[in-house]
Chain A
Amino acid sequence: MPRIRVKVDEDLCIGAASCVTIAPETFQLNAENKALVIDHGNQPDGPTYERWLEVTEEEKENIVLAAQSCPTLAVFIFDEAGVQLFPEM
């Protein structure tokens, strides 16, 4: 299973919630209306804007789709080697 690092730039996030709509298992809004990164619906080690996730190919595709849907491109996805998968550089 691929391991990816998902990060939300809280300064860019405006709480549009499209990531939450597409990938509710990975994103959840906090009280500041910013998207937290969650792990399959859970928050081991508490709330955070950045997390390593172990996901299936299908889940990874959906997380990329969620990142693509963000109107402020606030969601960043990196692979295990640290290469930025989205937004494309």
Chain B
Amino acid sequence: MHYVIIGGGIAGTTAAEELRKLNPVSEITIVSQEIHPVYSRVLLPHFLKGKVPRERVFLKKVSWYDEQKIEWLTGISVVQLDTKNKFVGLSDGRELPYDKLLITTGGELRTLFSDARGVSYFRTLDDADHLQQLLSERTEKSLAVVYGGGFIACEYINIFAHYQIPFSVAFRGPYFWPRLLETEAGELIQKQLLSHGIALHPHSVFSEVVGEKELRAVKTSSGEHPCSLLGVGIGIETDFSWIQEAGIETGSGIKCDEFLKTNVADVYTAGDVAEFFDVIVGRQIHIGNWMNAMMQGRHVARTMFGQEKTFELVSSYATNVLGLEIIFVGDVSKEHADEVKVFGSVQSGGVVQLFARAGQLVGAVLIGRNQDRAQVTKLIQSRSQISVYDFHHF
């Protein structure tokens, strides 16, 4: 049995580890675009703020792959998939046959269409190394801009604040996460940023970066913002062409069922790239967070080994912007909800936003309301009605 895993991140590596436990003699190959052993992306902000040394971001040593008898191909991507003859074509020209194939390629960063030295993105360890270099070049006159209104923007905000670099934040929407949040929730985040003296530029559509070689400013529809450092976090955009050409169904991710099987036999998916059928919230959903990637990695290994079981998890993701905790639990798409309810207020410093379909609570966003996390997670898990949620004033 030869298991081939495309993608060496946490989902793919966890799957490989579990497959090795289940089957000590099978062949396992990980094809990884990155050259580093698996590392924690979640630790990269800690590394940049000097909380942990660089070597602490790695979750496995280079020697681990050999010890586990896992073939580990680095710096290589997949360019072709033939599901009839069961092989993948690699960027180095090789053809790699498989018996069972797992796709855990994560997501590709969406980038701006112009560039200059000083423009930073933040997903991989290489991105973090690049940002660390830019940060080390800062002077007292340095100015920064954050472009984006999501998770990565929050990381840049915390990093620039940590280094006391004056910065402003420009984003396309009226507030952060406009497709998820209602006004009250969005305004609570704005208030947090404003209270730290940060200038906000909502409704900013990017037009270009200014500067021949070195970045001097960023131009958006809200004006020209001078900066020598631009942190960009505008989401994920994945190229599915080789996957679609192989006849695998895609939406915003690679579609799969509740066992993490795609529509093509012996092809599986997990992690950030998977759009899986979530039995708890009752729809095919695309979730990009650590907990989901790790748990799906382990789960899909069992499915591939023949121990088919429904994947069931209320996953969540927590971030923090300058001390304000923001937690997303379950299915938090306004578009897919038929009822969205807001509790709390900007004034009280805490907002809970709930999402429901046909009365069933499917997701929640908690801003400055950590104490509600256990309750909402349990209610979503038990497929409770939204009306059961009990809001306490603190």
Question: Which of B40, B371, B373 contacts A73 (CB under 8 A)?
Answer: B40
Tell yes or no: B327 within 8 A of A by CB.
yes
**Shortest Cβ distance from A85 into chain B, in angstroms?**
16
Tell yes or no: A42 within 8 A of B by CB.
no
Query: Is B318 touching A33 in the complex (CB atoms < 8 A)?
Result: yes
With A14-B320, A17-B291 in contact, is A71–B40 under 8 Å at CB?
yes
Contacts of B290 in A (CB 8 A): 16, 18, 71
Query: Is A33 touching B370 in the complex (CB atoms < 8 A)?
Result: yes
Tell yes or no: B317 within 8 A of A by CB.
yes
Query: Is B294 touching A29 in the complex (CB atoms < 8 A)?
Result: no
Contacts of B295 in A (CB 8 A): 18, 21, 69
Question: Which of B10, B42, B294, B374 contacts A72 (CB under 8 A)?
Answer: B42
With A33-B325, A71-B40 in contact, is A16–B370 under 8 Å at CB?
no
Bound together, the chains give a CA A40 to CA B390 distance in angstroms of 27
Contacts of A15 in B (CB 8 A): 318, 325, 327, 370
Contacts of B291 in A (CB 8 A): 16-18, 21, 69
For B325, give the chain A residue with the smallest CB separation: A33
Tell yes or no: A80 within 8 A of B by CB.
no
Question: Which of B10, B51, B56, B373 contacts A33 (CB under 8 A)?
Answer: B373
Q: Is the interface of A mostly helix, strand, loop or mixed?
A: loop
Query: Is A72 touching B373 in the complex (CB atoms < 8 A)?
Result: no
Contacts of B316 in A (CB 8 A): 16-17
Query: Is A33 touching B42 in the complex (CB atoms < 8 A)?
Result: no
Bound together, the chains give a CA A69 to CA B325 distance in angstroms of 21
Tell yes or no: A12 within 8 A of B by CB.
yes
With A16-B317, A16-B318 in contact, is A72–B46 under 8 Å at CB?
yes
Classify chain A: how many residues form its interface, as a range. Answer: 10 to 19
Bound together, the chains give a CA A69 to CA B296 distance in angstroms of 12
Contact with B along A1-42 (1 / 0, CB 8 A): 000000000011011111001000000111111000000000
Question: Which of B43, B56, B320, B327 contacts A71 (CB under 8 A)?
Answer: B43
Classify chain B: how many residues form its interface, as a range. Answer: 20 to 34
With A16-B290, A16-B291 in contact, is A33–B327 under 8 Å at CB?
yes
Contacts of A31 in B (CB 8 A): 370-371
**Shortest Cβ distance from A46 into chain B, in angstroms?**
17
Contacts of B40 in A (CB 8 A): 71-73
Contacts of B41 in A (CB 8 A): 71
Contacts of B10 in A (CB 8 A): 71
Interface residues of B in 309-330 (CB under 8 A from A): 313, 316-320, 325, 327
With A18-B290, A31-B371, A69-B291 in contact, is A11–B318 under 8 Å at CB?
no
Bound together, the chains give a CA A70 to CA B56 distance in angstroms of 13
Contacts of A14 in B (CB 8 A): 42, 318-320
Contacts of B320 in A (CB 8 A): 14, 33
Contacts of A69 in B (CB 8 A): 291, 294-295
Q: Which of A11, A32, A69 has the most CB of B within 10 A?
A: A69
Known: A15-B327, A16-B291, A71-B294. 7 other contacts (CB 8 A): A14-B42, A16-B317, A18-B290, A29-B370, A32-B370, A33-B320, A71-B40
Q: Which B residues are closer than 8 A to A by beta carbons?
A: 10, 40-43, 46, 51-52, 56, 59, 290-291, 294-295, 313, 316-320, 325, 327, 370-371, 373-374
Q: List 25 A-B contacts (CB under 8 A).
A: A12-B52, A14-B42, A14-B319, A15-B327, A16-B42, A16-B290, A16-B316, A17-B318, A18-B290, A18-B295, A21-B291, A29-B370, A29-B373, A30-B370, A32-B370, A33-B318, A33-B325, A33-B373, A69-B291, A71-B10, A71-B42, A71-B294, A72-B40, A72-B42, A73-B59
